Structure 1
Amino acid sequence: MADYDYDLFVIGAGSGGTRASRVAAAHGAKVAVAEEYRVGGACVIRGCVPKKLLIYGAHFAEDLKDAKRFGWQVPDQCDFDWKTLRDNVLEEVDRINGAYTQTLETHGVEIIHQRATVTGPNSVRLADGTEKTAARILIAVGAHPAVPDCPGAEHGITSNEAFHLDALPKRILIAGAGYIANEFAGIFHQLGSHVTIMNRTQDILRGYDLSIRDRLLQISMMKGLEFKFDANFERLDKGEDGCLTVHMSNHEPVTVDMVMFATGRVPNTEGLGLEEAGVTLEKGAVVVDDQNRSSVESIFAVGDVTNRVQLTPVAIREGQAFADTFYGDKPTTVDYTNIPAAVFSHPPMAGVGMTESEAKQKLGSIRVYSSDFRPMKNVLAGRNERALYKMVCDGETGRIVGLHMIGPDVPEILQAAAIAVKAGLTKAQFDDTVALHPTMAEELVLMK
């Protein structure tokens, strides 16, 4: 066997790369990981973790109003300091970054704080010009926010910059209608900004069940969020006062203080040397097989850079499967069926399995059960906001093939319920389970 510097060289220390590095090292491999920014990747540094903390902070806007109905003497106008929340969130990010770094070091993984590019099937070059060799190379560089190609786009921000703002905008336009757009729309709205969501189609949150996303749209509009559908960017003009005027198709121009692009994410493969090394890319994503192997036998990829399922827990599983397969003598593949997903909007939504339309196309005969209700807390708070739970079942067997929800805490509820869907349980088995009263989750066993 050839003499290499490392058994495994990982490029990218995000969720997938960190897991693969740690587990491979635990199995006895000599591992190095190169990271040009910070250990932890998009999720920890500029994604789901800090965003969820902002969502918690934003939710106090409604909680403080609701508290009055529960007897708490809360002033009509509560002061909010953005910089306090921002700085505390960034401090927590620093802590987790340190924890990730310590975990790698404890397992004997060498961390190289430089950009690395691929120069061949078994070689990489660091930013300082140093060449390293490895028996296997794992690409785990993730993805970055897409920015539309239109005049003035340089005046906008992405989710990366949203965590570092000096002040909250009074008016913000968010381009896109996926989970990032809707989550930040909720954050900015709750913290006092006027929010306009602009989308090139009529649909928000494609891929989620139609009834659930329609409910979110209704609630969002009721709260005062504006939507501009069938709108494409024409140009952004920056005025002398710093305000941005957005010119778009099918609508009058909109003037705001800030524009945020949430129009998808692009794999970070540009300039990485992959194509030159013979790795096949498709729309910028590394094409891999079920063992995470690229078209080059010694080069592998996991996580968002493969553009299979852009979710942190999926990247972690892919990293684990890769390390167990090639260093732990435990061949493992990831099962991509029935992956639960959530949108931490206001209110949040979550789903697992097939939507109603998908089930109709694939199964033909289906039965749909639902519960449309006002959560007890909302009733006493005087908040006219309804939750919706929906269960999609195989019409022949009663097996639950999809579960979709919107309402308070539904991501927490769905995680447990997703186990039942993954296990292939039936509506009858849910019905046989005694309700835990009074809870919102009891609606899962009471659906009609």
Structure 2
Amino acid sequence: MSQFDYDLFVIGGGSGGVRAGRIAAEHGARVGLAEEYRMGGTCVIRGCVPKKLMVYASGYPGQVHDAAAYGWDAEVHGFNWTKFRAKLDAELDRLEAAYRGNLDRSGVVTHNARAVLKDPHMVELSDGQSFTAAHILVATGGRPFVPDFPGSDLVMTSNEVFKLDQQPESILIVGGGYIACEFAGIFNGLGTEVTQFYRGAQVLRGFDDEARGHVADAMQARGVELHLGCNVMEMRQVEDGIWVKASNGMEQVFDKVLYATGRKPNSAGLGLEEIGVEMGRNGEIKVDDYSQTNIPSIFAVGDVTDRVNLTPVAIREGHAFADTVFGGTPRKADHDLIPSAVFTQPELGTVGLTEEQARDEGPIEVYCASFRPMQALFAGHEERVLMKLIVCADTRKVLGVHLVGDHAGELIQLAGIAVKMGATKEDFDRTMAVHPTMAEELVTMKTPVRTA
């Protein structure tokens, strides 16, 4: 009989923790898992899933407008936030139940409580119970960060935005990352007046410069009032909303203010420092390639490690951990060449190096096309698609693919396979075009627009 209550105790019921717990249980481990809020974590409950459903909802007015251009007698008559919210909540309840059901079927014992580490082999729950475990996995994710300034208590974050009782008539979104830009598109599409402040020179820092400029231009053309090099100085509650004073001198009242100014690892108050787990300056748990901390019995996966903060990455890290520790198959999660999508309007899909990164590594060729796709052209839109390949001039390998346009997220998943396999520009060229599609441009660009 084991000296421990569990072989593995997981703290956090998000995508990474749930996958780790399930796979460990399938390998025969006795697994306990504690989640203090709702099973499913940021992605399912207050992130990717509800956000994507809101993206879909916000896109229908444009589709109805296009339908009229294509000969349909179609018009849109306002958005029923209450009806949508009720259906969204029901869908999140369904998904949470599915997560719980999968854990139950795999034999994982779940605890609806907050867990804190007491020593390298013990956790204490907020319901008064304590358990020992041979291994402890911390998978507590991340949390939104709001800077402290006069009136900062008036703002909401991405955690609260899905729980709004009614749609705001006007909203200020502060931030320039993918969360800020996605919600700017969502609320703009739903008919809310959207203003966005970002203190930097261009939104979507870290993405390809040309692609981020393309997205910013399109956002503004669609109606988002974007102020770059601009930040909030102070805000206060007034009778008709929240009064905001900006660094550019602008003063305006908004119904709501959403801060999307970054996220931090959700590691505070877990007892990690007290037992000697090594932490980074931002609160991230430091781990090796196998997700192991400096204390051999304690591991961490997902956003709390601040490696690559994406749901599929947390899932892979959790799976690799379980295979390594309980499956007898040492395995590292592969963090190289990860495709990703930003569900702005229009979408941005990307994999591999940006033009700026690739330039620093050696000689490159840049293939780029920007055009009005057939569907938009017929409907009278001016919005253009961007297709961009970064190619190593020596090896001919495609180092990066950057797409801006409808369905870019779907397209980049397939382009990511090719890039991951090491496809060359000539491999792309040999592939027959699918006509008429936007994506055919990826295999028909013959001449570089520039070299570096």
* TM-score (norm. length: structure 1): 0.98
Contact 2:197-2:226 within 8 A present in 1 as well: yes
Please list, as runs of the form range in 1=range in 2, the aligned pairs for 1:298-309 lying within 5 A after superposition.
298-309=297-308
Deviation at 1:121, TM superposition (A): 0.4
Deviation at 1:230, TM superposition (A): 2.1
Contact 2:202-2:213 within 8 A present in 1 as well: no
Deviation at 1:203, TM superposition (A): 2.1
Deviation at 1:139, TM superposition (A): 0.2
Contact 2:174-2:231 within 8 A present in 1 as well: no
Residue 360 of structure 2: SS of its match in structure 1?
helix
Q: For structure 2, list consecutive stretches of 5 or more residues without a partner in the other structure.
A: 447-452
Aligned residue for 1:353?
A: 352
Aligned residue for 1:104?
A: 103
Deviation at 1:2, TM superposition (A): 6.5
- Mapped to 2, the partners of 1:371 and 1:295 lie a distance apart of 48
1:18 maps onto 2:29 in alignment: no
Aligned residue for 2:128?
A: 129
Give the 3 Å change call, closer, same or farther, for CA 435–144 of structure 1 in structure 2. Answer: same
Aligned residue for 1:252?
A: 250
Question: Which residue type is aligned with residue 404 of structure 2?
Answer: I
1:39 maps onto 2:39 in alignment: yes
- Mapped to 2, the partners of 1:406 and 1:156 lie a distance apart of 31
Question: Which residue type is aligned with residue 222 of structure 1?
Answer: A
Please, what is the CA RMSD of the aligned residues? 1.1
Residue 342 of structure 1: SS of its match in structure 2?
strand
Contact 2:176-2:203 within 8 A present in 1 as well: yes
Please list, as runs of the form range in 1=range in 2, the aligned pairs for 1:11-410 lying within 5 A after superposition.
11-75=11-75, 77-241=76-240, 243-282=241-280, 283-363=282-362, 365-410=363-408
Aligned residue for 2:425?
A: 427
Question: Which residue type is aligned with residue 135 of structure 1?
Answer: A
Deviation at 1:254, TM superposition (A): 2.6
Residue 19 of structure 2: SS of its match in structure 1?
helix
- Mapped to 2, the partners of 1:445 and 1:86 lie a distance apart of 42
Deviation at 1:166, TM superposition (A): 1.3
Identity %: 49
- Mapped to 2, the partners of 1:343 and 1:128 lie a distance apart of 39
1:60-100 superposed Cα distances (whole Å, 9 cap, x missing partner)? 0100101001121113x523211111211111111111111
- Mapped to 1, the partners of 2:249 and 2:230 lie a distance apart of 7
Q: Which runs of 4+ in 1 moved over 3 A?
A: none
- Mapped to 1, the partners of 2:252 and 2:349 lie a distance apart of 32
- Mapped to 2, the partners of 1:217 and 1:377 lie a distance apart of 21
Question: Which residue type is aligned with residue 173 of structure 2?
Answer: I
Contact 1:350-1:410 within 8 A present in 2 as well: yes
- Mapped to 1, the partners of 2:28 and 2:2 lie a distance apart of 18
Deviation at 1:29, TM superposition (A): 0.1
- Equivalenced residues, count: 445
Question: Which residue type is aligned with residue 251 of structure 1?
Answer: G
- Mapped to 2, the partners of 1:251 and 1:374 lie a distance apart of 37
Contact 1:228-1:251 within 8 A present in 2 as well: no
- Mapped to 2, the partners of 1:177 and 1:254 lie a distance apart of 20
- Mapped to 2, the partners of 1:436 and 1:219 lie a distance apart of 26
1:344-372 superposed Cα distances (whole Å, 9 cap, x missing partner)? 01110110000001000012x10010121
- Which of 409, 414, 417 is residue 416 of structure 1 equivalent to? 414
Aligned residue for 2:449?
A: none
- Mapped to 1, the partners of 2:144 and 2:84 lie a distance apart of 23
Deviation at 1:259, TM superposition (A): 0.2
Contact 2:32-2:109 within 8 A present in 1 as well: yes
Moved more, 399-408 or 143-152: 143-152
Contact 1:371-1:390 within 8 A present in 2 as well: yes
1:3-28 superposed Cα distances (whole Å, 9 cap, x missing partner)? 00000000001000000000000000
Contact 1:231-1:251 within 8 A present in 2 as well: no
Deviation at 1:246, TM superposition (A): 1.4
- Mapped to 2, the partners of 1:253 and 1:274 lie a distance apart of 43
Residue 285 of structure 1: SS of its match in structure 2?
coil
- Mapped to 2, the partners of 1:303 and 1:29 lie a distance apart of 21
- Mapped to 1, the partners of 2:250 and 2:70 lie a distance apart of 43
- Mapped to 2, the partners of 1:84 and 1:377 lie a distance apart of 30
Moved more, 310-319 or 331-340: 331-340
Deviation at 1:219, TM superposition (A): 1.0
Aligned residue for 2:450?
A: none
Deviation at 1:58, TM superposition (A): 0.5
Question: Which residue type is aligned with residue 33 of structure 1?
Answer: L
Deviation at 1:226, TM superposition (A): 1.2
- Mapped to 2, the partners of 1:442 and 1:230 lie a distance apart of 37
Deviation at 1:251, TM superposition (A): 3.1
- Mapped to 1, the partners of 2:409 and 2:38 lie a distance apart of 28
- Mapped to 2, the partners of 1:356 and 1:33 lie a distance apart of 43
Residue 79 of structure 1: SS of its match in structure 2?
coil
Contact 2:366-2:391 within 8 A present in 1 as well: yes
Question: Which residue type is aligned with residue 228 of structure 1?
Answer: H
Question: Which residue type is aligned with residue 175 of structure 2?
Answer: G
